[in-house]
Structure formats: C-alpha cells, structure tokens
Amino acid sequence: MLKALSGGTFSRDLTASIVVFLVAMPLCMGIAVASGVPPEKGLVTGIIGGIVVGVLAGSPLQVSGPAAGLAVIVFEIVREQGLSALGPILILAGIIQVIAGLLRVGGWFRAISPAVVHGMLAGIGVLIVVGQFHVLFDDKPLSSGLANLVAMPGQIFGLTNQDAATAFAVGLVTIGSMLGWEKFRPASLKLLPGALVGVVAATLVAFFLGLPVARVAVPESILSAVDLPSEGLIAQLLNPTVITTAIAIAFIASAETLLSAAAVDRMHDGVRTNYNRELSAQGVGNLLCGFAGALPMTGVIVRSSANVQAGAKTRLSAILHGIWILGFVALLPWLLREIPMAALAGILVVTGVRLVSVDHVKHLFHRYGPLPAVVWAATLVMVVTTDLLTGVLVGIGLSLIELLPHATRLRLKLDEESRDDAHEVALNGTATFLTLPKLSAKLESLPAGRLVILNLERLRHIDHTSAEMLREWVDRRRGAGGPVQLSGADGRLRQLVA
C-alpha cells in the first residue's frame, strides 16, 4: 500500500478511480434493476466491492461489483424465494468462496472451457436483452427468458400507448447517445464512458421536457438500503434450496471473477493475479453483501478494463472508486432520483448485446474445429431455455467429449532443465483441462527475462482449453520481453499454441 501512495503512482490511481466510478454508477443501478431489486442494492455491492474487496484483492487492477452475469439468477431467486432469501444465500456462497480460496482451488476455475464460459455469458446477454427490452417501455420483465422473448412483438405493437412510447423514446436516446459517443468522441475525452453520457442525456431530456416516465427510486440514506439478516438465519442456512442456490452462485461468481482476472492480466505487464487470494477476497465481499442484503459480486471486466485503460497502477484505484460511490450516494441521492428507468434499461440492452460474442465462437471454430463451437451454442441455448447452472453443467459435460479418444492416457508429465542460456520445459503426455492447473502453475513460476524453451515433442494431444491458456501465456510473456521458443511441435500443434 505504501507503493500506492507514492507520487506518480497515486496520481494515476486517483485519475483511474474517477473514471471507474463514472463507469460503475449507472451499471450498479442498472444491474440491480435487471435483478429485480431496488437500485440502491447494486450501489451497496459496488461500495463493498470497491472498498473491502479492493483492500483484500489478489488481482491488483481488477474491479469488483454487481455483475450482469448474475442478474438472471438473482432475478429468479427474488421471484421464487423472495428478497429475504438473498442474504442467507450470499452469506453461504461467500463462506464457500473463502474456504475454496484457503484450500487453493482457485486455479481449477481456469480449467473451465472458454467455450462454456463465453456460451454462458452469451446466454446471459440474450436473457438481459429480452428482459430489459420490456423495461424500455416502463413495463416489468416476465418470469422467464422465453416468455420475455415471445412478448417482445406485443410491446412494439403497443406503442400507441403514449406513456410506453415516451419511455421507449427515452431509452432510444440513451442507446443512441451511448453508441454515438463511443464512436465519435474526441481523443481528449476517450476515458469518459458512453454509459454515463447516455444516462445524462436521457435524464436531461426527461427533466427539461417534464416527461411522465418511471424514475429510479433511491432512499434518502444509503443506510436504509442495508437489510440485516432476520433471527432465523441459521435455519435458512440449513435450507436445502438455499444451500443448492448458494453453491450455484459461488461456482458461477468464482468462474466469472477468475476468468475476468485472467483477462485483466493480459491487459498489463504488472503484478499477476493471485487466484486463491482473489477468490477468498470475493468470498469476504459476498459474505458482507449477504449481511447487508445487497447483490452478489464478481470481478467485472467492463470496470476492470476501464481501470487499466485509465492508467491505474495499484489496488488503490479500486478502493477509491468505492469511496466515490459512497460519497455520491450519501450526498446526492436526489440527483439519482431523476434518472429514468428506461435509461438504465437502455444501457443494459447494449451490455447484453455485447455479451453475445460471436467473434469468440468464430475464433474457437477456426482454430479448434466444430466441437468448441457446439459447446458454446449448447451452453447458450440451455442457459436461455432452462437456467444458468444447467447450461454450465451441460457445457462442461459436452467438453468431456474431447477427452474420450484419450481416456486411457490423460496424464501430463512436466520435465524441467535449467541451463546458463535458457530454461527448458518438456511436456510429456496429454494436456487437457484436467491438467491445466498444474501446467499453468508451472508456467507462471518460470523465471522472468530468461529464454524459455517449450519442448512439445512428446506432447501427444492438447485440448482447446489448454491450448488457449498456453497460447495466451506465450503471447503475454513475449509481450513483456521474455523470449519463448517452441521446439518439437508439428505444424498442427504449432498452429494451436503459437
């Protein structure tokens, strides 16, 4: 932390924290609305994610807060079990994450196929779009993704309703302003987030024209947004439904957090993520969110990438962004109450569309063949038609198909040899997601600056999950100025990992 307070570093972190704060404010409220809870619940999670998790984090530049990836499952919890069930579920999920971090299982979450993760995010994106589409008309989302999808044409045909048409126009102002700003903004203002511009534009239009649209309801005091657990907490924690849901949230939140951390590591050349520490920090954050009756949190790639691009150097930027949210909510709640609900829905529609990364599935298909693309599509469809956990489990199950031809020889042996001029690592056997934590840990432990030779002569097979990890590691090391050579790889294997 002393490093964070040094002159040049402090000024970079301070500037970055303001940028992240401007990105986080509308997203915290919008994700809360998409989750079916009051907007202030998302702000409480953003405050805890910034201040508490920022202090404990194992990823120096990742920013935590409410995530679009969990909005769908929270919406279902609130609808089926009530808002009061969310606190005990998050307390238990947080405990699970803390224990998982202490048991050093953080690296295993990186072994989840990228096809499964991106399929899950794409499915979540579809559900957010079809749900928030109704909020654009000042209406409420229906009970399922399919029901929301079927009802979408009816909203369009119902535009003869003046109030619905007005709300829709406000949502379009938000989306147009957001996309227009991101496309045409001047270079000197490139750090000003499009989401903030969209919300401000829609709020000003609604205010000066006196439009009769639904607005955000924010309490006078942020303390009134904190709902402490009831007396029957122990009984709720032992409820089988609560336990099952908590495991699902802990699993999905951990996977999203650690994959986001891996993505953030690729954006900078500084300190790498300590996955187990990050997992425990997230657990503490979710534990506190449970006691506060707030939303679950994860590491969030949108806020984290803004943090890196704004020049942050240490965890101080994440901590400060949480302080700015707290100060804004405490001092200016009246300003938040002028924001139209349709404006937040507009931001989330754009966010949902961007979660459906067709470019990523094209990359998987062209590099690794049809199976990863099938896994991606199946995960997406199952998330939309059933639920989040079912979709992820189906995707993981389909990923096992890649192991079948090699089921009798799944071992991977790593042999090291250090010479004066280089450090050689020989891979002997089959590299799959089952051996990925072992392989990843070995690669990350290699000395910096020296030539690394990866000997792949005795590597019989590598699945797409391990190939993606290995390729990213090679790119990151070379980007940091560390030479890497691949030896013994045939044309197809070299194409996969080079």
The pLDDT assigned to 258 comes to 84
Question: Does residue 350 sit within a domain?
Answer: no
Q: Which of 308, 342, 376 is the last residue of a domain?
A: 342
CA distance to 1, 172, 182, 185, 193, per residue, from 179 (Å)? 37, 11, 5, 10, 10
State the total domains in the chain.
Answer: 3
Domain match, 27 and 107 both: yes
pLDDT at res. 114: 84
pLDDT at 292: 94
Q: What share of the chain has pLDDT > 90, as a percent?
A: 41
If asked whether residues 309 and 425 sit together in one domain, one would say no
User: Average pLDDT for residues 158-174, to the nearest whole number?
Assistant: 90
Last residue of a domain, one of 342, 369, 389: 342
User: Does residue 351 belong to any structural domain of this protein?
Assistant: no
Cα 141 to chain centroid distance, Å, stands at 22
Is the pLDDT at 4 greater than 60, yes or no? no
Residue 279 has pLDDT above 90, yes or no: yes
Task: Tell me the pLDDT tens digit for each residue of 12-55.
Answer: 899 889 989 988 888 899 899 889 899 999 999 999 999 999 99
Structural domain contains residue 1? no
Gap between the Cα atoms of 468 and 367, Å rounded:
10
Q: Are residues 320 and 369 in the same domain?
A: no
pLDDT number for residue 264: 83
Total-model pTM: 0.81
Continuous segment of H or E residues that includes residue 462: strand 459-462
Is 384 domain-assigned?
A: yes
**Domain membership flag for residue 348:** no
Asked whether residue 57 falls in the same domain as residue 139, the answer is yes
Are 375 and 427 within one domain? no
Q: What is the pLDDT of residue 109?
A: 78
Position with higher pLDDT, 102 vs 266: 102
Q: How far apart are CA 124 and CA 180, in angstroms?
A: 25
Q: State the CATH number of the domain containing residue 447.
A: 3.30.750.24
> What is residue 445's predicted lDDT score, i.e. its pLDDT?
86
Q: Please state the rounded mean pLDDT for residues 146-150.
A: 86
With helix as H, strand as E and coil as C, how does 124-160 read? HHHHHHHHHHHHCCCCCCCCCHHHHHHHHHHHHHHHH
Query: What pLDDT shows up at residue 263?
Result: 74
HEC-encoded secondary structure of 298-330? EECHHHHHHHHHCCCCCCHHHHHHHHHHHHHHH
Q: How far apart are CA 31 and CA 344, in angstroms?
A: 8
- Given a cut of 90, whether residue 417 has pLDDT beyond it is no
494 pLDDT more than 70: no
* Out of 3-7, 119-123, 272-276, 403-407, least confident range: 3-7
pLDDT averaged over every residue in the chain: 88
Residues 426 and 399 in one domain: no
* Mean pLDDT for the stretch of residues 124-145: 87
Verify that 231 and 92 share a domain, yes or no: yes
**Do 59 and 151 fall within a single domain?**
yes
Instruction: Mark whether 288 and 397 lie in a shared domain.
Output: no
Verify that 399 and 463 share a domain, yes or no: no
224 domain-assigned:
yes
Any domain includes 2: no
Grade residue 205 by pLDDT with cuts at 50, 70 and 90: very high
82 and 190 together in one domain:
yes
Range of the domain at 387: 356-403
Per-residue confidence (pLDDT) for residue 189, from 0 to 100: 86
- Residue 419 in this model has a pLDDT that exceeds 90: no
Residue 280 and residue 165 share a domain:
yes
209-231 tens-digit pLDDT: 999 999 988 888 888 888 888 87
